[in-house]
């Protein structure tokens, strides 16, 4: 028999994808006057509301301060775009085993987000709450949520994958990704939004993305169990042809946004980050992390004079450890008809998947994990009839 020559395979690609963000005006600007809501608390007048006049004008203050949503003041709205590139090398270890290593990168430019604190004044700890409105850049308005397209992101990753077919009916896939995702916005337009503490500067905002996951290992298998191959009759129908499959996922945690409560800077914003304490490390060794102290709270101190110097997303939350299992078998009912039984267990070993700890300095739960990010073990049984 002539041997089959095995050679490596190389491939790569590059592409640009444009984003038509200008089509999202209806979603962004729909909360502006006259459709914007006005909340009046404890009015000094008591007008009579009727069907003809359900919202008496006397309820509205003479100089109404609206919270508004707006596109860029300079009207220079830009559509974002992504650049993607990759290079891969694959090698056939045998007729049934293949390994591939890939380098994958991407860069986002002019990404959309929004600043909920666009109309916040500069820090002035000595100013009183009464002067807040007069200190705003646009004192005729309250809070302004500004649609911005100055977001940037950068992704780099090494992706490896191993596939094995057989033996004994076992198909195995193992994939590992080492990656880094950085950006200057905490979230997109309708996600957690930019969360920029200084709405007039991007300084200090570039850092780990909220979606950054450094390490991810996934193993999946499908095993056509060979038991009962010599059985016949009823025992064959019951014991032969079972399929066991599963997916195991191990991954790093996601970054944690750290801010502080209150408004010590008199800026009407929840995006203020604290200061970093010079002789303290916010990241604890793995052996020292507990649910009641996931990171070092002493590494942060309250910003009381100007914007805090803590970087965005300075610590990382708990990782993910999940194993899902499935057991299935198909029974022939008649020619061309089958009844499939399937049992599935999600998070089969009931491993707690802890959520991120509280990241607000001044909160009594600062640094404490008090929730899980997904359900505990869930099981389901199903029957499927195909004809």
Q: What is the pLDDT of residues 76-102, one digit of tens each?
A: 778 888 999 999 999 998 888 999 999
Does 137 map to a domain? no
Residues of the chain by 3-state class (helix, strand, coil), percent to 5: 10, 40, 50
Q: Is the pLDDT of residue 73 over 80?
A: no
Any domain includes 133: no
Number of domains in the chain: 1
Look at residue 355 and tell me if it is in a domain. yes
Domain interval for residue 170: 82-106+147-386
Q: Which residue has the higher pLDDT, 220 or 227?
A: 220
**CA gap 168, 209 in Å, rounded:** 43
Q: What pLDDT is stored for residue 368 in this prediction?
A: 97
Task: Answer yes or no: is 16 within a domain.
Answer: no
More confident residue, 63 or 354: 354
pLDDT at 130: 72
Within-domain flag for 11: no
Instruction: Report pLDDT for 159.
Output: 98
- pLDDT at residue 1 tops 50: no
Residue 220: Cβ within 10 Å count:
16
Please report where in the chains the tokens 């793995």 appear, as a residue.
286
pLDDT, tens digit (0-9, with 9 covering 90-100), for 118-169: 999 999 988 876 788 899 999 888 888 888 889 999 999 999 999 999 888 8
pLDDT at position 374: 73
pLDDT above 80 (res 354): yes
More reliable by pLDDT, 62 or 120: 120
325 located within any domain: yes
Judge contact between 147 and 80, C-beta under 8 A: no
| 10 domain-assigned | no
DSSP for residue 47 = P
Query: Is the residue at 180 inside a domain?
Result: yes
82, 107 contact by CB (below 8 A): yes
């Amino acid at each position: 028999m002539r041997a089959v020559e095995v050679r490596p395979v190389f491939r790569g690609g590059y592409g640009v994808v444009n984003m038509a963000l200008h089509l999202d005006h209806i979603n962004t600007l729909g909360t502006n006057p006259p459709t914007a809501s006005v909340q009046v608390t404890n009015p000094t007048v008591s007008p009579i509301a009727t069907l003809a006049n359900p919202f008496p004008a006397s309820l509205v203050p003479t100089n109404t301060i609206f919270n508004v949503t707006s596109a860029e003041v300079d009207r220079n709205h830009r559509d974002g775009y992504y650049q993607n590139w990759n290079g891969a090398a694959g090698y056939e270890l045998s007729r049934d085993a293949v390994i591939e290593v890939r380098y994958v990168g991407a860069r986002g430019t002019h990404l959309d987000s929004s600043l909920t604190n666009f109309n916040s004044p500069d820090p002035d700890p000595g100013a009183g709450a009464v002067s807040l409105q007069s200190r705003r850049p646009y004192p005729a308005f309250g809070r302004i949520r500004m649609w911005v397209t100055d977001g940037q992101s950068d992704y780099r990753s090494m992706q490896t994958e191993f596939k094995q077919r057989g033996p004994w009916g076992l198909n195995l896939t193992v994939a590992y990704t080492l990656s880094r995702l950085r950006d200057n916005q905490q979230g997109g337009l309708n996600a957690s939004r930019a969360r920029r503490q200084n709405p007039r500067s991007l300084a200090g905002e570039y850092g780990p993305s909220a979606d950054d996951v450094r390490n991810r290992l996934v193993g999946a298998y499908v095993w056509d169990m060979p038991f009962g191959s010599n059985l016949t009759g009823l025992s064959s129908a019951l014991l032969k042809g079972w399929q066991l499959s599963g997916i195991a996922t191990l991954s790093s945690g996601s970054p944690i946004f750290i801010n502080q409560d209150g408004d010590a800077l008199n800026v009407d914003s929840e995006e203020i980050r604290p200061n970093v304490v010079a002789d303290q490390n916010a990241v604890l060794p793995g052996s020292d992390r507990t649910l009641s102290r996931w990171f070092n709270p002493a590494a942060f101190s309250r910003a009381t004079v100007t914007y805090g110097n803590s970087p965005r997303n300075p610590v990382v939350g708990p990782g993910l450890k999940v194993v899902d299992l499935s057991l299935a078998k198909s029974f022939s009912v008649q020619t061309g008809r089958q009844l499939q039984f399937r049992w599935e267990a999600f998070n089969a070993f009931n491993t707690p998947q802890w959520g991120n700890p509280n990241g607000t300095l001044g909160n009594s739960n600062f640094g404490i994990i008090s929730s899980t990010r997904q359900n505990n073990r869930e099981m389901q049984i199903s029957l499927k009839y195909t004809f």
